[in-house]
Structure 1
Amino acid sequence: MLNYLPKILAFLLAVILCLILANESQNSFRFLEKDDYDIPERIPVRRHMTKKKKTYFNLYSGMDEIKRQNSDTIPPRAKNITAGKLCEGTHLCLSSAFRHETRYRIAPDYKMINCVVHKSMSTVITGIMCYLYNRKHIVKVDKQMNMTEWDKALLCHNRNTFSNLKQKLIDINATDLNGWSLSMITRDPVERFLSGYVDRCIRISEGPKTCNGCDKNMTCFILKEYARFKKQTRRGKLVNTIEDRHFYPQNWRCDLKTMKEKYEFIRYSSDPSQQLMTDLFKIARRQKVPENELEYIKSELTKNRKTTHTTANSPARDFYEKRLLKNPYLLEYIVRMYFHDFLLFHYDFPPGFE
């Protein structure tokens, strides 16, 4: 009997393996048949939520300290010349020839791809693309949990996210993008800088060493950030810090150097019911997104959008916006950093730079 024991064990092992393989094959077949893409039932929990909620109040308190740190005298511009004369044929302005990390979101059912850029409604558009990726599950969980925009953006667990556009188009057999939509939300460079600065340097400021060691002084930050970017472009290597991601030019994202002609650009607006919704829905309807799903998206865009990242209409944002717009010297450095964003996305240069 003992002589047959190894053979019996081998036979039982073979049977078990066959059962496992059969089960996996059946599951794979069911996956291909499903209308919705699989997303785990586990709801993402945003860590440090209490801390981030508290940081929103930094935009409303400490204004005396903000004003004190920004009481420095700002010099005038050396030459009152246009943006074109400032940048074209000179080395003063950042080049457009760099590619920074890029994140795409895809909704295969509607053949829609969106390139996400920091401080250009990235959280909201990520949530919308996640919804289009798996509608039924998102709506079900949202009703149960009353999720924030951030929660919805996390719900797909990056399953509809990729970074290599050319390889993805090969994978989905859409190298010519025939029938597909490739879009990007753009934002006025001055407005985007202000939103990023107040978000990163005031809302979640963690002491004087943050934001280039400038604490809450915007003049110091702008000059040092410009010098950092110039140094990085000379070396040909970008430093991927969380702060830099919010301030790198938009034209360094989304493979625009090679794919610009394929894009449809959607203009950011602080009130989404304006141009942004018009542009986004025009694309969505062309891609055959049903009206009931557009209604859900509309409700997401128009309801209270005051997330922890929001800086609009806060005293801190109002203060820095007025200080920047009335100082041509500071605006010149904004133009130096974002000259190609103004040109490529057709935003007006600040007064005095037209």
Structure 2
Amino acid sequence: MIGRAWVVALSLFAGLAQASASQDAIAWLAKVSAASQTLNYAGTFVYQAGRTTETSRIAHISDATGEYERLETLDGPPREIVRSNGDVRFYLPQEKIIISDHAMPKRFPAWAHVSPDQLMGNYNVRLGSLDRVAGMPAQQVVLEPRDAFRYGHTFWVEPGSGLMLKSRMLDSTGAVVEQFAFSDVSIGGLVERDKVRSRYAAAAGGWREINARGAAVTPEEAGVSCRGLLPGFRPISTVRRQVKDGGADAVHLVYSDGLATISVFVEPIVQGRKTPVVGESAVGPTRIFKRLIGAQYLVTALGEVPPESVRRLAESVEIRQK
């Protein structure tokens, strides 16, 4: 009886220790979320996915009037993203196009604060070792998926400020799906306002502007539902927007598990046009699955998740008759 009591006690203590370790890691993620919104920072980071490598420069300012950010690519065709609080403008100089949209789901080095319960329901969250990135100390925060519907992640966080210095996404074999990492970064202090202003805005008077903001609608108004959601994913927005020039409006649904995000587009098929190609595909780390509902609708699900996840979510979509 005494031996069994010791086993029970040790199991209890182990469970408490694991819960405490998860809470410590969650606290680090909360620090990252706050840092990405409230800090001034500027630097250069490298993105890698498969054989693709891309270098970008970012500057971020937070003050009494809000958040401002400018990101420009330094490789290949010039591209620029400028964020002013909740509004985002994409500048494509070669095409002379500006795309305006609402703020997107946050990407490196930002972290959107989410419910700890939702996050821990889908991932084992723990602290890793102390490392070094861009010449700075970096605490690893590890998120291991609890099932095969999502990828694993490791974040490297600068301990003093809480800014994320590096982010790595891993598949079920431990192979790197994609990685972001600062090569140099300055944290805190003054970032000049010009650093977050577009370099193309003054010359873009004759450029074509596309409004991709769309209009928020309720699921009932959209007439679209999912009969069985992907485990761990919750609906976070439903928007009606135009996804193709001259095309009919599509319904854009977004689902999240607290870290990964999947977009689902449901658009009417224009009669007389070529039948869309359906099935699985990929663009870099983004997995895509398309299917038809009768001859009337095309459903497209896409996200940086395993192929099975986008397929299951796409196949769960139903059109409700109004």
User: TM class by shorter-chain length?
Assistant: under 0.3
Length-normalised TM-score, structure 2: 0.23
TM-score by length of 1: 0.22
Higher relative contact order (CA 8 A, sep 6+): 1
Structure ID, larger Rg: 1
Higher helix residue share: 1
Structure with the higher strand share, 1 or 2: 2
